[in-house]
């Protein structure tokens, strides 16, 4: 069977439409919103008091935060962030976040173990739920909104 030129064009058009459809906004991952808080859960917390540093291994707090956290980590590894611990009063705690490439869906958070006033920030231990977002260059939150 020999293909007619109009059929070749039709087949080519269908293939082109399929390829274009795969690249639509619905199928591409969304960029992480730097102003949004992402819910996380601490897996391990280690404190080194001589240097005043806490290291937190964490992942998503629940299924609904899995994709947003993954997007956030891919887009902002090494960035200055702030966290708010669920149910704790006080100001957000500044830190630095890193994506762990060898641990799917996990992040590493570096935090001060003490504030400049010498007080310990809100307690953070394994299982603690906290919210994470980017900080602006001036040291404040990236966005004006708290939620």
Q: What pTM was estimated for this model as a whole?
A: 0.68
Tokens of 141: 């939150």
- What are 41's strand-pairing partners? 59, 129
16-25 b/e with 16+ CB inside 10 Å = b? eeeeeeeeee
Dump pLDDT digits (tens) for 89-126: 888 999 999 999 988 889 999 998 876 666 566 678 99
CA atoms within 13 A on the CB side of 100: 13
Burial class, 75, CB count within 10 angstroms (exposed 0-12 / middle 13-18 / buried 19+): middle
Please report the pLDDT score of residue 117 as a whole number.
63
Percent of the chain with pLDDT over 70: 64
Please report the pLDDT score of residue 16 as a whole number.
33
Calpha distance 5→9 (Å, rounded): 6
Domains of the chain, each with CATH number or no CATH: 38-134 (2.40.30.20)
Higher pLDDT residue, 54 or 14? 54
Mean pLDDT on 72-87: 94
3-state secondary structure the chain: CCCCHHHHHHHHHHHHHHHHHHCCCCCCCCCCCCCCCEEEEEEEEEEECCCCEEEEEEEECCHHHHHHHHHHHHHHCCCEEEEEECCCCCCCEEEEEEECCCCCCCEEEEEECCCCCCCCCCCCCCCCEEEEEEECCCCCECCCCCC
Higher pLDDT residue, 59 or 8? 59
Please report the pLDDT score of residue 69 as a whole number.
96
């Amino acid at each position: 069977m020999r293909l007619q030129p109009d059929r070749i064009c039709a087949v080519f058009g269908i293939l082109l439409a399929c390829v274009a459809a795969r690249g639509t906004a619905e199928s591409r991952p969304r960029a992480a919103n730097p102003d949004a808080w992402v819910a996380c859960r601490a897996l391990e917390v280690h404190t080194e008091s001589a240097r005043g540093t806490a290291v937190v291994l964490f992942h998503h707090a629940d299924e609904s935060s899995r994709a947003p956290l993954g997007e956030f980590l891919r887009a902002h590894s090494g960035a200055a962030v702030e966290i708010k611990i669920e149910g704790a009063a006080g100001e957000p705690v500044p830190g630095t976040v890193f994506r762990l490439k060898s641990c799917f869906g996990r992040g590493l958070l570096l935090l001060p173990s003490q504030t400049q006033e010498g007080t310990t920030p809100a307690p953070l231990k394994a299982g603690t739920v906290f919210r994470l977002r980017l900080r602006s260059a001036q040291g404040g939150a990236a966005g004006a909104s708290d939620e």
